[in-house]
A and B are shown apart, each in its own frame.
Chain A
């Protein structure tokens, strides 16, 4: 397996606060990798750095999708066009647009029409619009959201909004997905549906997924490797079974054992 995403010695400082310090890890092609850690560990910050919303203070991020390319410092839309897309912790759909239009916006950079074509309505424009319409509908069918195509995004129930957000990221033709707490606020049934959905798209579309999640059942059941962050540092990087028993991880989540504390004093 070759790695598609290499994160090397990435630091991110907000003033004097080191939100991320010396983060290094690789994500392999086709992997479904978990990213966990207590609140404030820097998981979302790391996503923001990878997806280009923040530039890292130092260090480099390389995407080896088609060809090897350093993406740290690029604008977010360029990173997305290179094949890496993300979802957000708080759902950020285009609320007053239809489900279909949400998908079409994600396909924006795949549409080859100039402004002039658009204003004159050349045959080229009509052809492209027809193509994108049918591709967007086919895509919606493949993620089983096609019956909602003409609904406004804001009118969807919560679980489906989450699904649509993942689908929208997928529609950018990204091969690497960063999912930021997709199960947040879901009940156990919705979480289970979501797990199936993620598994399905992961296998069917040959994706590489990096997943932030607090739901341990979800993360343990679908990921093949877990990276643990605490105070902006990677404290563990291993298969789920070993993460469960890793003393540093347990310490980060539950605090030190009491006896040690007493002994230390």
Chain B
């Protein structure tokens, strides 16, 4: 009976997934979602991947990392460089693979020494790492220095973005609800106790960090092909803070919170487009307000699920009757 119920939910989710896939696709084809909105939609998708990936590091294992844009730029440049000679989907896959590989190595090299640091010190160290990556890219010839790479082949489509976001979300959810996710949460809660319970704290922290960094690289690759231009200045501290805002807004530890926050930020961005740098001021204001009124973020640690929504509705019904 319970397994039947499980399958029913799975089926329902799958159906919902397909409806959104084809529904949005039809809307795009019918130009109800015009190219401008479509671009915003893709931006939200990229922010979703970035949000859940940073949430793995900050929300689950409690390591404040401010170098996320650096890892994103690795993926972006990898895709940009490969797409120059291989301007098709296979090239994009190759670029994503290359980005994954490089970010894996860089993240490992960064994680092992820096994750011994705690709190503010770790934040500063990772901030430095992000800057180092940016400056290295700025000074390499293959990345074309300060002018960056432009005219990247645009291969982004709704089904591609939707599939990638779904993959990222499913993988991070699986990580969260496994022994790795539990161990990571326990480290965030009390590192000393976690280590005393037989958890190899360093290993879990490094794993979460590498996993998060690699997902950021994927988001970067998608960014490159969506906006067909990458420049070093794009991936500075502003970008890292932007991702952090999504995580904090949605709730540290809540992946679905990050998804909702990415949508929210995307929409706010759309309305504030004309204000330019003023946006940062409004972001800051939003962050301060969240910290005052809902320090745990939109969803805290919880996830949005069919069950939780159902139970909410049932509760409401009970109250009514």
**Total A-B contacts with CB atoms under 8 angstroms apart:** 90
In the bound complex, do residue B171 and residue A105 qualify as a contact, i.e. CB atoms below 8 Å apart?
A: no
Give complex CA distance A103, B69 in Å: 36
Residues of B within 8 A of A119 (CB): 171, 174-175
Please pick, from B186, B189, B193, B199, the residue contacting A88 in the complex, using a CB distance under 8 A. Answer: B193
Which B279-321 residues have a C-beta within 8 angstroms of A? 301
The proximity string for B residues 40-67 relative to A, scoring 1 for CB distances below 8 Å and 0 otherwise, is: 0000000000000000000000000000
Please pick, from B178, B192, B198, the residue contacting A113 in the complex, using a CB distance under 8 A. Answer: B178
Give complex CA distance A192, B196 in Å: 27
In the bound complex, do residue B196 and residue A108 qualify as a contact, i.e. CB atoms below 8 Å apart?
A: no
In the bound complex, do residue A97 and residue B182 qualify as a contact, i.e. CB atoms below 8 Å apart?
A: yes
In the bound complex, do residue A77 and residue B174 qualify as a contact, i.e. CB atoms below 8 Å apart?
A: no
Please pick, from A108, A111, A121, A129, the residue contacting B197 in the complex, using a CB distance under 8 A. Answer: A108
Please pick, from A53, A80, A125, the residue contacting B198 in the complex, using a CB distance under 8 A. Answer: A80
A192 to chain B minimum Cβ distance, whole angstroms, is 27
In the bound complex, do residue A172 and residue B178 qualify as a contact, i.e. CB atoms below 8 Å apart?
A: no
Is A51 on the interface with B (CB-CB < 8 A)? Answer: yes
Which B218-273 residues have a C-beta within 8 angstroms of A? none
In the bound complex, do residue A77 and residue B189 qualify as a contact, i.e. CB atoms below 8 Å apart?
A: no
Known contacts A97-B186, A118-B180; A85/B197 CB under 8 A:
yes
Interface centre among B182, B200, B201 (most CB of A within 10 A): B182
Please pick, from B174, B183, B189, B196, the residue contacting A76 in the complex, using a CB distance under 8 A. Answer: B196
Which B123-175 residues have a C-beta within 8 angstroms of A? 171, 174-175
The proximity string for B residues 186-213 relative to A, scoring 1 for CB distances below 8 Å and 0 otherwise, is: 1001101111111111000001000000
Known contacts A53-B196, A168-B197, A172-B197; A105/B182 CB under 8 A:
yes
The proximity string for A residues 94-107 relative to B, scoring 1 for CB distances below 8 Å and 0 otherwise, is: 11110001101110
In the bound complex, do residue A108 and residue B178 qualify as a contact, i.e. CB atoms below 8 Å apart?
A: no
Interface size class of B (residues with CB under 8 A): 20 to 34
In the bound complex, do residue A109 and residue B198 qualify as a contact, i.e. CB atoms below 8 Å apart?
A: yes
Please name the residue on chain B nearest to A104 by beta carbon.
B182
A115 to chain B minimum Cβ distance, whole angstroms, is 6
Is B84 on the interface with A (CB-CB < 8 A)? Answer: no
Is B179 on the interface with A (CB-CB < 8 A)? Answer: yes
Please name the residue on chain A nearest to B198 by beta carbon.
A80
In the bound complex, do residue A105 and residue B194 qualify as a contact, i.e. CB atoms below 8 Å apart?
A: yes
The proximity string for A residues 6-24 relative to B, scoring 1 for CB distances below 8 Å and 0 otherwise, is: 0000000000000000000
In the bound complex, do residue B198 and residue A108 qualify as a contact, i.e. CB atoms below 8 Å apart?
A: yes
Give complex CA distance A42, B190 in Å: 23
Known contacts A113-B179, A115-B180; A92/B198 CB under 8 A:
no
In the bound complex, do residue A108 and residue B174 qualify as a contact, i.e. CB atoms below 8 Å apart?
A: no
In the bound complex, do residue B198 and residue A97 qualify as a contact, i.e. CB atoms below 8 Å apart?
A: no
Is B185 on the interface with A (CB-CB < 8 A)? Answer: yes
B306 to chain A minimum Cβ distance, whole angstroms, is 18
Give complex CA distance A125, B196 in Å: 25
Please pick, from B174, B180, B194, the residue contacting A121 in the complex, using a CB distance under 8 A. Answer: B174
**Subset of 30 A-B contacts with CB under 8 Å:** A51-B196, A53-B192, A75-B200, A76-B195, A77-B195, A77-B196, A77-B198, A77-B200, A77-B201, A85-B196, A85-B197, A85-B198, A88-B192, A92-B190, A94-B185, A96-B301, A101-B185, A102-B186, A105-B182, A105-B183, A105-B194, A106-B197, A108-B198, A115-B175, A118-B179, A119-B174, A121-B174, A132-B179, A169-B197, A172-B198
Smallest CB-CB A-B distances: 9 pairs: A80-B198, A92-B193, A94-B189, A118-B178, A109-B198, A105-B186, A106-B197, A111-B179, A76-B195
